[in-house]
Structure 1
């Protein structure tokens, strides 16, 4: 099924970030809210939360059972509000994306420039963490929802060790995540990052957990 066949304008079909707000469609629709509601009704979009919608990727059109990845949705929401370079997937969400957390989790964590409350979506909670995004060690990521940034294994390890309770996971799950990340970590780089970000204590804690001390 083609996206245009269900009434999705080409301007929206070409969006890199499939998360949008009504004002993002103001140059396409004179009255965006009812038009986005129509797209939801005909299966071309999903309502994420008040003021946020997700355009369904083309290969999932017609599949009412499809659920978007929460971490990709969180990144898309962050980008919608702060721009492509103003948001990054971090913490346990990044660890999940990097394959270090095998289990599904009900929240994701997005680094942005401003403090703001968590956003409860239809697919889980998006927690915004105030960080200097430009100062984080990042790598490119491609998801079904958007292209963007995720913290590297080194940055993710430091962030989790610095705030192990942020994800709400049990201590053993945090240790498992750190151990899964460690083989991917460049030890020289993580040591340099820890010094520059004042996270040497976090790196020491991570090593102790990984080594079972």
Structure 2
């Protein structure tokens, strides 16, 4: 079995999207994945983020304490479940990746095509919440994360989502400021068209009100 350079993690696992996988994703590599993955965690080349979810530690981070940020971790876990085209970082988590919320958060929000229970991480005090949406209709783009490129809602889509669900993620007090920051960067025609297409005109009106109040 070929090994990923300097990681001791088999290359097929190290090459998975966002370096994140579940034991069932490793059955082509190991006949009995769980004890082998536990061994790699002890060696410090594999990071266990939550029960049943593992992240390959970057080669330049082995041998030292390492933990990817919450948004990247959530994107990786959701991608392991739904695939790279149906897991989209949204809401407050998208705002974080767009640098509209400066502080680290304890909740990540991911848009997915089917329901999933909230996942509680074991490597920190944080949770991942999943919101069922038609991911094909969301305005999203690839953005870099410490684990690789992930789908993230655009600033325009993020404005509408935050205004529609301001309490999703327990950061309601920070949402108006984040919306205002993203609104100022948004293409207004694109924003208006998205709101009309997705039935979010009320959310757009709320976002515009916040932006005017901050000016």
Deviations 1:164-207 (A, max 9, x none): 11121142x11110111112100000000001111000000011
**Deviation of residue 15 (structure 1)?**
2.9
Residue of structure 1 aligned with 2:149, choices 147, 150, 153: 147
Residue of structure 1 aligned with 2:159, choices 157, 160, 165: 157
Q: Secondary structure at the match of 1:212?
A: helix
In structure 2, do the counterparts of structure 1 residues 60 and 5 end up closer, same or farther at CA, with 3 Å as the change threshold? closer
Does 179-188 or 140-149 show the bigger shift? 140-149
Q: Secondary structure at the match of 2:17?
A: coil
2 CA distance for matches of 1:210 and 1:167? 21
Give the length in aligned residue pairs: 210
Q: Who is 2:198 aligned against?
A: 197
2 CA distance for matches of 1:180 and 1:5? 41
Q: Who is 1:80 aligned against?
A: 80
Does residue 102 of structure 2 align to residue 102 of structure 1?
Answer: yes
User: Where has structure 1 moved over 6 Å in runs of 4 or more?
Assistant: none
1 CA distance for matches of 2:16 and 2:172? 38
Q: Who is 1:132 aligned against?
A: 134
8 Å CA contact 2:17, 2:76 repeated in 1: no
Query: What residue ranges of structure 1 are gaps of 5+ in the alignment?
Result: none
**Deviation of residue 144 (structure 1)?**
2.0
Query: What residue ranges of structure 2 are gaps of 5+ in the alignment?
Result: none
Q: Who is 1:40 aligned against?
A: 41
1 CA distance for matches of 2:6 and 2:151? 32
Q: Who is 2:10 aligned against?
A: 9
Q: Who is 2:91 aligned against?
A: 91
8 Å CA contact 2:75, 2:150 repeated in 1: yes
| TM-score normalised by length of structure 1 | 0.93
| TM-score normalised by length of structure 2 | 0.93
Q: Secondary structure at the match of 1:17?
A: helix
Deviations 1:58-110 (A, max 9, x none): 2211112x221110111111111111101100000000000100111111110
